[in-house]
Amino acid sequence: MSPADRFAALPELLATDQDLLRRGRWLSVEVRVEIGAEPFFLSISEGALKGFERGARLMRSTAFSFAATDEAWTNYWQPMPAPGWHDLFALTKRGVASMNGDLRPLLQNLQYFKDLLALPRGRS
Amino acid sequence: MAPKLDPIVGRYVHAVIEGVPHRLYFEEAGQGIPLVCLHTAGADNRQFRHLLTDPEVTRRFRVLAFDMPWHGKSTPPDGWEKSEYRLTTQSYTAAIRAFCQAMELDKPVVMGCSIGGRIVLNLAIAHASEFRALIALEAADFQQPWYDTTWLHRPDVHGGEVCAALISGLIAPQSPPTSRHETLWMYMQGGPGVFKGDLYFYRVDGDLREKVKTIDTKVCPLYLLTGEYDFSCTPDDTRRTATHIPGAEVTIMKELGHFPMSENPAKFRGYILPVLEKIS
């Protein structure tokens, strides 16, 4: 299963995570996440995924994006990730991930996004 | 039934730091060689509570952990509301020496973590003869920044929550969830702008890359211990620093991150007890 295929399960993973939904209840935002070359568009509403689209969309506007290589996501989602591959900022520091756009909603809800993007961890 | 009490006593000591009166909170336990513990940026002395309650440590060491000025229960200096807090190499060094003098400690061991580890290097550079031994946890002479500190103190981002979320990634994934979240809880409670002010020392004022070459470990032994999951101060940062300090002992700690004493006390114990054994 490719990293993008694993990420495609995000709606089901979030829907069953009541704690993460609770913590994200103040958050509504449009986000682009790139899994390798494949973009995903997340419409987050009060912490839940109102929309989740896979693949390029012409002129789709988002508040911010988080992109990482297939290698980065593969390592990040290991059940016990290796040192230097275990956190989003570890990935950006080593140059295999980047964040762009208006980062305010990301920083306002940073633990939520870290945990959201870690949901595929250990699941194949 | 008798109350179940930790063997820790907390008190306040008055000290003058760079001409300014301070009231510093500290906790202590044990007897023997004074061991002064320095917490990480934006945190407080609670990070050392497991060390303070470890009989293997406290039977030989008088462990003292103080809250830095502006941190924890230490009272900020009069007029704090009219200034922006900024830690410097000079002010941090002065605070540690002032605490040791106020407590009349005789050649203490100092152990610091993160910024506490960095300042331990400066103690080795400038004041080695005052100390019995120095232990630097998660320390290097310089580290590459990995985020913009302006996010730490602004009205539209909750300072405590963003500080905790940022540093959460520095905790090893193997660390017990309760210890992880206790460590994060402490980060959520710092005063506004205090973590950012500490990082001024870390990022701007505390580059010790040339100065560490003057450290003489024959005057004062120096131990460097870094967790393998610390991507802020990486094992390579610590090893590189040690190459400039003959006699410095380096240990890379498996399955630990940037907060070894609080994120996984049991694991850290296995690494720090042998060091303390050598010192005692």
Asked if residue B99 lies in contact with residue B15, where contact means CB atoms within 8 angstroms, the answer is yes
Q: Are B131 and B110 in contact (CB under 8 A)?
A: yes
Mean pLDDT of chain B: 97
- Kindly indicate whether the domain formed by B9-279 is annotated with CATH number 3.40.50.1820: yes
Average pLDDT for chain A:
97
The neighbour count for residue B84, using CB atoms within 10 Å, is 10
Give the residue extent of every domain in chain B: 9-279
The predicted structure's pLDDT at residue B1 = 87
Q: What is the pLDDT of residues B157-176, one digit of tens each?
A: 999 999 999 999 999 999 99
For the stretch B71-100, pLDDT in tens is 999 999 999 999 999 999 999 999 999 999
User: Cβ(B249)–Cβ(B243) under 8 Å?
Assistant: no
pLDDT at B47: 98
The CA distance from B153 to B160, in Å, is 9
- Tell me the pLDDT tens digit for each residue of A73-110: 999 999 999 999 999 999 999 999 999 999 999 999 99
* Residue B163 neighbours by CB under 8 Å, 6+ apart: B42, B152, B187, B188, B190, B195
Mutate to test the interface with B, among A88, A93, A116, A121 (most CBs of B within 10 A): A93
Question: Has residue A123 got a pLDDT over 80?
Answer: no
Q: Do the Cβ atoms of B227 and B138 come closer than 8 Å?
A: yes
CB contact under 8 A, B231 and A89: yes
Of the candidate ranges A55-64, A104-113, B200-209, the one whose mean pLDDT is the lowest? B200-209
Per this entry, what is the length of chain A?
124
Kindly give, in sequence order, each residue whose CB lies less than 8 Å from that of residue B268, ignoring residues fewer than 6 positions away. B50, B253, B256, B260, B261
d(CA B209, CA B225): 18
Percentage above 90 pLDDT, chain B: 98
CA distances from B41 to A82, B68, B266 (A): 25, 9, 22
Kindly report the number of other CB atoms within 10 A of residue B220's CB atom.
Answer: 21
Query: Does residue B257 contact residue B229 with C-beta atoms inside 8 Å?
Result: yes
Nearest to B229 among A83, A89, A104 (CB): A83
pTM of the predicted structure, to 2 decimals: 0.97
Rounded to a whole number of angstroms, the distance from the CA of B159 to the nearest CA of chain A is 9
pLDDT digits (tens, 9 = 90+) for B93-144: 999 999 999 999 999 999 999 999 999 999 999 999 999 999 999 999 999 9
| Backbone phi, psi, residue A39, to 5° | -85, 150
Of B66, B50, B175, nearest in space to B116 by CA? B66
Distance from CA of A97 to the nearest CA of B (A): 12
The strand ranges marked E within A69-120 are 97-101
CB-based contact, B173 to chain A, within 8 Å: yes
Asked if residue B5 has pLDDT above 70, the reply is yes
Helix (H) or strand (E) holding A44: strand A38-45
Mean pLDDT along residues B239-250: 98
Mean pLDDT of B184-194: 96
Interface contact A84-B161, CB threshold 8 A? no
- The per-residue pLDDT for B256 is 98
A122: pLDDT strictly greater than 90 = no
Helices (H), chain B: 49-52, 55-58, 89-102, 115-126, 159-168, 177-187, 194-200, 235-242, 260-263, 265-279
Distances (CA, A) of B3 to B27, B49, B91, B172: 19, 18, 40, 34
Q: Within an 8 Å CB–CB cutoff, is residue A86 touching chain B?
A: yes
The pLDDT of residue A124 is above 80: no
How is residue B149 annotated by DSSP? Answer: G
Nearest to A80 among B170, B174, B231 (CB): B174
**In B, which residues are within 8 Å of A92 by CB distance?**
146
Top residue of A76, A86, A92, A116 to mutate, by most chain B CBs within 10 Å, is A86
**ipTM greater than cut 0.90:** yes
**DSSP per-residue letters across B60-114:** TEEEEEEPPTTSTTSBPPTTGGGS-----HHHHHHHHHHHHHHTT-SS-EEEEET
Residues of B in contact with A104 (CB under 8 A): 156-157
Q: Which residues of B touch A93 (CB under 8 A)?
A: 144, 146, 231
- Domains annotated on chain A, with CATH: 3-117 (3.30.1050.10)
B161 interfaces chain A, CB cutoff of 8 Å = yes
Name the one residue in this structure whose structure tokens are 């660390």.
Answer: B175
Note whether B240 and B267 are within 8 A (CB): no
Q: Does A93 contact B228 at a Cβ distance shorter than 8 Å?
A: no
Q: Do A86 and B229 touch (CB under 8 A)?
A: yes
How many helices (H) does chain A have, and how many strands (E)? 7, 5
* Sheet architecture: strand order including A38-45: A48-54, A38-45, A29-35, A64-68, A97-101
Mutation to test the A interface, candidates B144, B151, B154, B180, most A Cβ within 10 Å:
B151
Q: Is it the case that residue B234 has pLDDT exceeding 90?
A: yes
The set of residues, in sequence order, having a beta carbon less than 8 Å from that of B92 and lying 6+ positions away, is B68, B115, B119, B122, B201
